Structures are given as structure tokens and as C-alpha cells.
A and B are shown apart, each in its own frame.
Chain A
Amino acid sequence: MNLARYIVSRLVWSIFVVLGVIFVVFIVSNVVPSDPAALWVGPKATHSAIQMAREKLKLDKPLLVRFGYFLRDLLRFDFGISIRTHNPVIQDIKTALTATFELLLVAEFLAVALGIPFGVFAAVKRNKWFDNLSRLFAVVGVSLPSFWYGMILQLLFFKWLGVLPLSDRIDTFVSLLHPFHERTGFYLIDTLLAGNYTAFLDVIKHLMLPAITLAAYPIGLITRQVRSMMVEVMQENYIRTAFAYAIPERKIYFRYALKNAIAPAMVTVALSFAYTLVGAFLVELIFNWPGLGRYAANAILSMDYPAIVGVTIVTSVCYVFINFLVDVIQAKIDPRIRF
């Protein structure tokens, strides 16, 4: 089967998975609770509000009909009204999602920029002190509770060294004195487009700590993956030949060996992106980052049920989509994978 057909079949399957995911969310949110309507309007609801929710959720209809309505609302991007912010949930999620993605992309960039060289050197110096050290670092990286690590970084860089800001996306004074137009929602891009370098630098400063916190996990994953792939590639005959020709070592490692080790590592990068998306939830809470995670956490605290359901569905769909991309990348780089 060729690549195009494989991609189409994966895509079709992904759509089924999304439907399945939505169905599970529907069951958990609309069927499991003893009174879904009361949950939907929150703890301080009036009697008439509950009545309205009951009509909106069509609680008197059979299960499958209710699921149909649920799907129809989703297709119209109608997730209901947030109890806490009184905005349509989808609007809140849109603004939050760009903030989350900006943080995510910077963290993932850090992870790739550090993880790949670490992995290569660890493989080259296999079982030497550098390898052992990088293993320890990688394992610590994937074991750090991000919500704690973030606080420790804040203590270190804000409280004791005083070089980086504590939290938020941008300093209030900077954004007031040097305002810029929010065109993309990505502050790094917006400030650059506006030519506003003061704000740009401030945005970078604010990004540093949360991005470092978030990057710990993917750095660990990528380092270990690149290392194990490199170890395998380094045993190949063509590498031995390259050594015999006295080609400079650096060139052998980074040009000849890495080329074959990088493809599976890219899959790990994409996968770690999916994990980091959810990891960002906790980090955002610590750094008061106005993204999806903080939104979800506030929703939980105020029992803002429509918002919780909305965030779950949007994030799961992103997750399925990233996994779909992973499969496509994998099929493209590894000709053995065919169905």
C-alpha cells in the first residue's frame, strides 16, 4: 500500500478515534453524574437555570439522541457558556490556546536544541562519565514534578538571584508603556511585528522560566532516544569505514551517524510534544500563564463544568491530531511501516 493511502486510512481512523473520545467525554459528563444539569450550571445555580440546562442537555431524550445533540453543538463549536467568565467557552479556549502554544513551542525548541547534542555525546562516550551523567540528568528530567520544579526555579532566579520575573506573560508596566497590537496572539511575533523591542525582551524574560520548567521532560526523553539510536547506528559497518578513512570524528558523529539516528528521534520529539501539551497545564498554574492549563485549573476550582468539558475535548483532539502526525512522519521516514 502506498503512502497516500496509508495516510488517508490513518486519517479516517483518527476521525473515529475523535468520535470515540467525544463519546467517552459525553458519557463521563452527561451520564455518570447523578444530576448532570446541576453540574452544568454550577454550585450556585438557581432553579430556573437548572431547568434551562436540562432542556439544553435534552435530559429527557434517549442516550443516543442526546449524543447527537452533543455532537451537533460541538460541530458548531458551541461548548456552552463558562460559569466563571460568562464568555462562550470556545472563545476563552481560543485565547488560551495561543498562549499555551507559544510556551510549548519555545520549550520544545529548547528540548531539541539540548537533547540532540546530549544524546549524541552520550552515545559517543558510552559508559563513560558523560554518559552516566547524561543518563542521570535525563532520568531526573522525566522524574521532576513540574509544579514543584517551577517553584524552585522561581525561588532561585526571582527571589535569590533577582534576574528573572516571577510570573505572567509580560510585565504590566511594559505592556502599558509600550503597548503593541495583538495580531497573532503569539507575543514573541506580535512584539517583533510592532518593532517593539522593549516588550520583546520582556516577553523573552517571562518565557524563560516556564519554558525551562516545561522542557525538562522532553529533554530527558529526547536525550535517551537519540542516545539509544546513536548507539545502534555507531555499530554499523559504514561508520567503521568512515573511521578507517580518518574522516574527522565530529563529522562522522553529526553528519554520518546522526542522519540515520535522527528519524526515530523526530518521532519522540512529536510524541513529547503531545505529553508536554498536558504538562503545560501544571506549569501554567505556577507561572500564572494565561493558557489552557490555568483556565482548566480555575475551571476546576470554581466547578466550571462546561469549561472543563470544553478543555478536555479540545486538548484530546489536539492530542489525537499530534499522534496522527507522528504516524505519518514515521511512515514517511521508515519504509518498513506499511499496512
Chain B
Amino acid sequence: MSLKLLKLAFKNAFARFSLLIVLIFVAMALTAPWIVPYKEQALGEPNMAERLQPPSLRHPFGTDHMGRDILSRVMYGSRTSLVTAVLVVFLSALIGVPIGLISAYFGGFVDNILMRFTDIFLSFPPLLLALLIASTLGKGLFNAILALVVTWWPWYARLVRSQALSIKTFAYVEAAKAAGVSSAKIMFRHILPGCIAPLAVQCTMDMGSAILEAAALSFLGLGVQPPKADWGLMISEGKAYFLNYWWVPTFPGLFVLLLVVSFNLLGDVLREMIDPRLRRRMLV
């Protein structure tokens, strides 16, 4: 199912393009320590002699207010962004998926309690609860991730629940029940696999949003702390200089945009494919 989906997606030019960009970013994040031109500056070492230099051959993206090479820092920043996004999405799914499965499988009272609980967390504007949590627990990447997870898991619970509710009625689930298979095994072995495709689409789209929101938290000073390299932080540092030194926030922002667009395009194409009403027409 998932493999077929990928093959189909590969026929779409948008999907091919965005997959390529995502892979390039992943490769860049993995190899950053060895390929960046100025590793010490990427890690935060100031170089005041070359403060706020415009883009040149030596510094293709220019230098920032501490004279650090922006290209190196932007490349290093892909590490924090990708790790944050993966962690947020993975941890949210880890909490949300079991809750959705249990809610759908047992139904009735359990379902009611769990879903009402989920509704409350869904009612928070995500960024806002994250702000409150980050300002209570303190600034830092770890707290920012925690804050995002707290506001994100309900979406996964909802998604898995609605999917599991329909799978639950299939004959093979009934058969497993009749054969005396344990509830846990039915939930995770028989129902969960049917939820994977929409879950994968959701995760893909959420990677983009996670990068955006983590950048927003860093921009507000609640995420990654200086002197580390992070896109949101670099944009925030550039805010004081951008009118006279346009390159300072421009390049980190372009990188955010490019990566988020890629994830969203990929998700958009995939979503259209798994929507059965739309798929029928696409194949015709």
C-alpha cells in the first residue's frame, strides 16, 4: 500500500522535486560538521573583524552581526530544525496514536473520556500554549519541543481514532476477536497497519509545520539559545540589522521556506492520492 503510494507519488513532478529537496537537506544536516566552510563560526565563535560583510565569494551568504559566516550557520541550522521536527512529530504520534486506537477500539465511556480530554488540548492555539509552557519551564530547545508535543498529540489521536473506527468494523477484525486474540494485539497488529497511510501523510505535512513553529518559538527567544545556529534565532538576530544588511535574515528564512514548502508539497500530493474520491479521478 505505502510502496504503491510512493510509486504513484513519484509520477508527480512536484512530489519528485520536493522529495529531492528534503533529501538534500537531510544529507546537509548529516554531513554539516565536515562540509561547512567555517565550522567554529557555525558553532558560535565570533569573528568581529568581518562584521556584517555583504555576500561575496568568501562568504556567499555574507556575515552576521558577529562576523560569522551565514552559509555555515544556515547549514548547521538544518540540524536543529530537522531534529526538532522529527522529535516533535514522532513524540506526538507516540502519544496520540495509542490514545486514538484505545478510544476507537473500546468505544463508549473510554472513548468519551479520552476524546473530551483531547478536545480540551485541541482548543488551545498551539503556539500559545507553547509560549506559556516555555515561559514557565524556561527557555531552551528541549522545552520548546515539549511545548509543541503537548499541543500536537491530539491531532494524531483524532486522526487515528476516525480511521480505526472504520477498520474496526471489518470482518478480519471480528474474526481476530472471535479467535480470542488479545485486545492489544488486535489494536496494534490488525488495526494500526490500516492507519499507516493517512498517518504518513499527516506526519509529512506536520514536519513542515513543526519546523515553522519551532522557528517561531526560537524567533521569540523561547527555543534554541545563542550562540547556537538555528534558523528562527538567526532571523530574530537579523531583525535589528535587516534594513541596512538585508542578507542577515534573508538566507535563513529562505532555507526555512524551501524546506517547509517541500514537506507541504509532498504532503499535499500524497493527501490527494490517498483521498479515495480524488484518486479515482486521478487514475482515469
Contact = CB atoms under 8 A, between A and B. Distances in A.
Contact of B249 (A148, A235, A305, A309): A148
A256 interface: no
Interface string A259-285: 000000000000000110110011001
- Give the dominant DSSP class at B's interface: helix
B222 A300 contact: yes
B253 A323 contact: no
Contacts of A228: 278
A204 interface: no
A143 B211 CA distance: 10
B208 A21 contact: no
Interface stretch (B1-9, B38-46, B102-110, B258-266): B258-266
A333 interface: no
A136 to B, nearest CB: 8
B75 interface: no
B223 to A, nearest CB: 12
Nearest to A220: B264
Interface in A133-183: 135-136, 139-140, 142-145, 147-149, 151-152, 154-155, 158-159, 166
B14 interface: yes
A316 interface: yes
Interface string B273-284: 000011001000
Contacts, number: 134
A312 B129 contact: yes
A306 to B, nearest CB: 12
A143 B123 contact: no
Interface residues of B, number: 48
Interface stretch (B22-30, B85-93, B213-221): B213-221
A308 B132 contact: yes
Contacts of A166: 243
Interface string A1-36: 000000000000000111011001100110011000
Q: Which of A143, A144, A149 has the most CB of B within 10 A?
A: A143
Contacts of A328: none
Contacts of B137: 32
Contacts of B215: 145
Contact of A17 (B119, B136, B265): B119
A300 B125 CA distance: 17
A143 B216 contact: no
Nearest to A296: B131
A232 to B, nearest CB: 7
Nearest to B265: A139
Contacts of B126: 278
Contact of B128 (A29, A301, A315): A315
Interface string A298-319: 0011010100110110011001
Contacts of A277: 125
A161 to B, nearest CB: 13
Nearest to A144: B257
B264 A308 contact: no
* Interface size band for A: 35 or more
Contacts of B281: 235
B183 interface: no
A307 B128 CA distance: 13
A316 B243 contact: no
B239 interface: yes
A319 B261 contact: no
Contacts of B142: none
Given A151-B239, A300-B131, A308-B135, A145 B124 contact: no
B2 to A, nearest CB: 23
Given A135-B268, A319-B125, A33 B261 contact: no
Contact of A21 (B124, B216, B264, B278): B124
B246 interface: yes
B187 interface: no
B198 to A, nearest CB: 16
Interface of A: 16-18, 20-21, 24-25, 28-29, 32-33, 39, 132, 135-136, 139-140, 142-145, 147-149, 151-152, 154-155, 158-159, 166, 224, 228, 231-232, 235, 274-275, 277-278, 281-282, 285-286, 296-297, 300-301, 303, 305, 308-309, 311-312, 315-316, 319-320, 323
Interface of B: 14, 116, 119-121, 123-129, 131-133, 135-137, 208, 212, 215-216, 219-222, 232, 235-236, 238-239, 242-243, 246, 249-250, 252-253, 256-257, 260-261, 264-265, 268, 277-278, 281
5 contacts: A21-B124, A145-B232, A158-B243, A300-B222, A316-B129
